[in-house]
């Protein structure tokens, strides 16, 4: 047991000793000096009486007990004021994770997104204590799944996204080559409107003001996902990471509020690691939107690695499932046991001793008074 304020105990003990010494001196002086009163003769015979001797001895024992108990109570009080404590190292379990899936839901990477969502279903099913969220974006961002540990709910939402990306594929393969609505054959119009409605049900809110602002605003999508973490400013015993898929083919019509580089810097500042998943060139070129594959890839790679994350290129040599497994392994290594050294007050023993001393002093004082 260690004291936080040992000086209080030392100083208090010296004061008690000085007070005891002064009391003893005064008692001796007062015992040898006649200070008035009625003098009695022949008391020697009374002092030899057995009853007198018994009561005198009892009085001396009780007086000594009262003095000791009061002294003990004073010492216990000093100990409590000095704050006894102990230092201990506590392992509070395994550090948990907050994981956000950040998806660019523009129609250019539906195949990559489908595979990523499909692979993550198994990961989510195996989570324990971690939390998972989903953010989707195009022109604007939608919090598709707030951070939660309700894994059944997350998996059900991942299933909805899988169907959404399957519908994107059908839309692009069936209607992607048409520039104008009147070019679509009459017999396909019914399916066209059905697909539009089904797609709108999922992507609602991701294209707000897209005719003015453009599409695939990558930096805004990442920054919005970052600020969806609960308690971002708190010092939590959790690691935070974002798994982001995009082709980084930004089609901005006005200057975005946040560019990708700036969003990555904010992630790094908040200790959020970004794992980037980028499509192979064949998928990238299929959109024919004029973006340069190499420059888009290198910019995204630099942004991801600036957060201490890893850039993954999905393709024939590296499957999306392998990428997810790699992220899972790396994150598992990052969440070791949480060990905390803390100081714990230990007032129980001196407090109990104080109560005992006060109890003895009270009982002894009552008996002496009688």
Q: For position 116, what pLDDT does the model report?
A: 93
Of 15-29, 249-263, 347-361, the range with the highest mean pLDDT is 249-263
Q: For position 245, what pLDDT does the model report?
A: 94
pLDDT at 34 over 60: no
Q: For position 356, what pLDDT does the model report?
A: 87
Of 3-17, 37-51, 132-146, 321-335, the range with the highest mean pLDDT is 132-146
pLDDT at 225 over 90: yes
Q: For position 239, what pLDDT does the model report?
A: 84
Q: For the segment 244-291, what is each residue's pLDDT rounded down to a tens digit?
A: 999 998 888 999 999 999 999 999 999 999 999 999 887 676 665 667
Q: For the segment 79-102, what is each residue's pLDDT rounded down to a tens digit?
A: 888 888 787 765 555 668 889 999
Confidence category of residue 43, pLDDT binned at 50, 70, 90: low
Question: Lowest-confidence range among 2-6, 69-73, 107-111?
Answer: 2-6
Query: What is the CB neighbour count within 10 angstroms for residue 294?
Result: 9
pLDDT at 33 over 60: no
What is the CATH code for 96-335? 3.40.50.410
Q: For the segment 147-187, what is each residue's pLDDT rounded down to a tens digit?
A: 999 999 999 999 999 999 999 999 999 998 888 888 989 99
Q: For position 10, what pLDDT does the model report?
A: 81
pLDDT at 144 over 60: yes
Of 103 and 321, the one with more pLDDT: 103
Question: Lowest-confidence range among 61-70, 133-142, 184-193?
Answer: 61-70
> Where are the domains positioned within the chain?
2-30+40-87+344-369, 96-335
Mean pLDDT of the chain: 84
Q: For position 235, what pLDDT does the model report?
A: 59
Q: For position 325, what pLDDT does the model report?
A: 83
Q: For position 4, what pLDDT does the model report?
A: 74
Q: For the segment 61-79, what is each residue's pLDDT rounded down to a tens digit?
A: 878 888 888 888 888 888 8
For the entire predicted model, the pTM comes to 0.66
Q: For the segment 293-336, what is each residue's pLDDT rounded down to a tens digit?
A: 899 999 999 999 999 999 998 876 677 888 888 887 777 665 55
Q: For position 349, what pLDDT does the model report?
A: 85
């Amino acid at each position: 047991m260690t004291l936080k304020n040992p000086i209080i105990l030392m100083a208090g003990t010296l004061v008690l000793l000085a007070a005891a010494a002064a009391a003893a001196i005064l008692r001796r002086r007062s015992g040898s000096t006649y200070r008035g009163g009625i003098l009695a003769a022949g008391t020697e015979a009374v002092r030899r009486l057995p009853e007198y001797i018994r009561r005198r001895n009892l009085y001396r024992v009780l007086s000594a007990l009262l003095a000791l108990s009061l002294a003990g109570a004073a010492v216990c009080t000093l100990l409590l004021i000095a704050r006894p404590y102990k230092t201990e190292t506590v392992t509070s379990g395994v550090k948990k994770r907050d994981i956000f899936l950040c998806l660019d839901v523009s129609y250019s990477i539906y195949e990559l997104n489908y595979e990523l969502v499909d692979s993550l279903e198994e990961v989510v099913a195996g989570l324990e204590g971690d939390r998972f969220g989903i953010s989707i974006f195009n022109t604007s961002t939608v919090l598709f799944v707030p951070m939660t540990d309700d894994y059944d709910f997350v998996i059900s939402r991942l299933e909805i996204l899988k169907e959404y990306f399957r519908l994107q594929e059908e839309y692009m393969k069936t209607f992607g080559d048409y520039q104008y609505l009147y070019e679509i054959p009459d017999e396909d119009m019914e399916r066209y409107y059905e697909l539009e409605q089904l797609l709108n049900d999922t992507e609602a809110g991701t294209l707000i003001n897209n005719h003015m602002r453009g599409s695939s605003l990558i930096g805004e999508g990442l920054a919005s996902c970052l600020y969806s973490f609960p308690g971002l400013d708190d010092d939590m015993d959790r690691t935070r990471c974002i798994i982001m898929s995009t082709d980084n083919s930004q089609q901005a019509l006005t200057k975005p509020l946040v560019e990708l580089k700036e969003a990555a810097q904010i992630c790094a500042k908040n200790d959020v690691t970004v794992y980037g998943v980028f499509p192979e060139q064949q998928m990238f070129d299929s959109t024919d939107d004029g973006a340069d594959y190499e420059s888009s890839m290198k910019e995204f790679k630099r942004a991801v690695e600036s957060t201490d994350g890893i850039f993954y290129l999905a393709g024939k040599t590296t499957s999306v499932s392998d990428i997810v497994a790699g992220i899972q392994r790396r994150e598992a290594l990052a969440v070791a046991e949480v060990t905390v050294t803390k100081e714990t007050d230990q007032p129980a023993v001196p407090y109990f001793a104080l109560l005992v001393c006060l109890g003895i002093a009270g009982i002894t004082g009552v008996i002496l008074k009688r």
